[in-house]
Amino acid sequence: DADVTQTPRNRITKTGKRIMLECSQTKGHDRMYWYRQDPGLGLRLIYYSFDVKDINKGEISDGYSVSRQAQAKFSLSLESAIPNQTALYFCATSDTRDSRSYNEQFFGPGTRLTVL
């Protein structure tokens, strides 16, 4: 079983619709992240969370919101989707309590979102 899962894997929606992307992890990690990936731009951080009830904006948070419902769950919402939010979205986790993996992130499989 995958340690970091994302749902849905693919989604096509229309401008103005509200969309939620879900991320779950079984690794017991404290930190969770949402990135979007666009061709030629690498991964850019949208939001991150250090633990439940701790939410922080990343580089490109406008137009997005998040919720950390539990240590294992971190969801990303697009309140009113627009076409330039078409991208590949990745959830990732890291564990700052384990010195061996402190600097390593583990990625989910990604969600390909298309906004028409």
Partner 1 sequence: EDKVVQSPLSLVVHEGDTVTLNCSYEVTNFRSLLWYKQEKKAPTFLFMLTSSGIEKKSGRLSSILDKKELFSILNITATQTGDSAVYLCAVPSLLDNYGQNFVFGPGTRLSVLP
- Minimal distance in Å, beta carbon 98 to partner 1? 13
Q: Strand 111-115 to strand 10-13: parallel, antiparallel, or no bridges (unpaired)?
A: parallel
> Binding residue for partner 1 (CB under 8 A) from 21, 32, 33, 113?
33
How many other C-beta atoms lie within 10 A of the C-beta of residue 21? 23
> Binding residue for partner 1 (CB under 8 A) from 19, 85, 90, 93?
90
Q: Can you name the residues that pair with 75 across neighbouring β-strands? A: 67
Which token pair is 22?
Answer: 């879900």
User: Residue 63 CA to chain centroid, in angstroms?
Assistant: 14
Residue type, 57: K
x-marked contacts with partner 1 along 62-81 as a string, rule CB under 8 A: --------------------
> Binding residue for partner 1 (CB under 8 A) from 19, 29, 34, 48?
48
Residues 93-112 that bind partner 1 (CB under 8 A): 96, 103-110
- Minimal distance in Å, beta carbon 95 to partner 1? 12
Could you identify the residue written with the tokens 């919720």?
Answer: 67
